Structure 1
């Protein structure tokens, strides 16, 4: 059991899901493990954690981050169906990459950042995700992040952490701050 990879989920409406996953990724990297971070939804812009992971990768190529989206998804609110379908196609391309990387055996930890959103918004199929998790390489650790974690995934996980929003600066009209939220 000592070498069995774990499935972890960071979910909930509070801040810190990705940050916690990236902290674990850096911990694993610091322990000599190979880490891949695949970001669904996020993409098309630079932010602090992307710069930090890229700097670590230059030191030692055991950690890598890949953006697979083109930005946040607010389906049925601010974007038209054509835009959503383009984002869904990006998620499908990302999912194909996830499957290849799971099968490659190259990684000790794979973070699937914002995958819960991609599933919730119908960009990915929860049963396909569950099947991949159930058949992952024995030693591979996986972290899934994002709001709206599906009950099937929660049941399959070894550890689930729910971030709860108590208070946020945004509620006072304070916009997201570089270095804090992104």
Structure 2
């Protein structure tokens, strides 16, 4: 096997972090591109409990599957024990998915928020990622990505907010932020 084809078959670790808008959007764009290229995509959404519009992608592209591992806690209040349990169960499920070999791309949306709220440790997440099948591409999104995750990643994008209409009082809009 040539070096190029070996590199194309290896799954890399990508991280989209920062305080700017677009981390989940970028990951969902990658999910659509991968699905259209014939890859199977699993999206595990940590912290989120609302079925945002992006979840409807699985209706249009059956090779994309969404699961949610949250109660929405980090967005409105301090996490409860139940929030932590959901997050930990999500990590267990994500570990199974990454190591199953059934999925080509695994997106762990808002996983860095789960880390920030100590649902599980960065070491636990990195162990789960390291145990994945070699071809599985992993994408981690969310603010506050810890340095250990950034160091382990092959690609890191820091989305920086320069200006946002939220600051002018514009609420989240359907089809744009939710």
TM-score, normalised via structure 2 length: 0.92
Q: 1:88 aligns with which of 84, 88, 98?
A: 84
| Structure-2 separation of matches of 1:2 and 1:100 | 23
Deviation at 1:67, TM superposition (A): 1.2
Q: 1:26 matched to which residue of 2?
A: 32
Q: 1:146 matched to which residue of 2?
A: 142
Q: CA RMSD in A?
A: 1.4
Flag structure 2 segments of 5+ consecutive residues without an equivalent.
1-6
Q: 1:87-112 CA distances to partner (integer Å, 9 max, x unpaired)? A: 00100111111111112110000000
CA 1:78–1:38: 2 relative to 1, 3 Å: closer
Q: 1:128-177 CA distances to partner (integer Å, 9 max, x unpaired)? A: 11112223211110000000001111011110000000111110111111
Deviation at 1:72, TM superposition (A): 4.1
Q: 1:94-173 alignment to 2 at 5 Å?
A: 94-173=90-169
Q: 2:58 matched to which residue of 1?
A: 54
| Structure-2 separation of matches of 1:150 and 1:50 | 27
Q: 2:16 matched to which residue of 1?
A: 10
Q: 1:40-63 CA distances to partner (integer Å, 9 max, x unpaired)? A: 0011x2321112x23224xxx311
Judge which range, 111-120 or 91-100, deviates more: 91-100
| Structure-2 separation of matches of 1:9 and 1:47 | 21
Q: 1:71 matched to which residue of 2?
A: 72
| Structure-2 separation of matches of 1:13 and 1:159 | 17
Aligned residues: 172
User: Is 1:179 the counterpart of 2:175 in the alignment?
Assistant: yes
Divergent runs of 4+, >4 A: none
| Structure-2 separation of matches of 1:100 and 1:140 | 12
TM-score, normalised via structure 1 length: 0.90
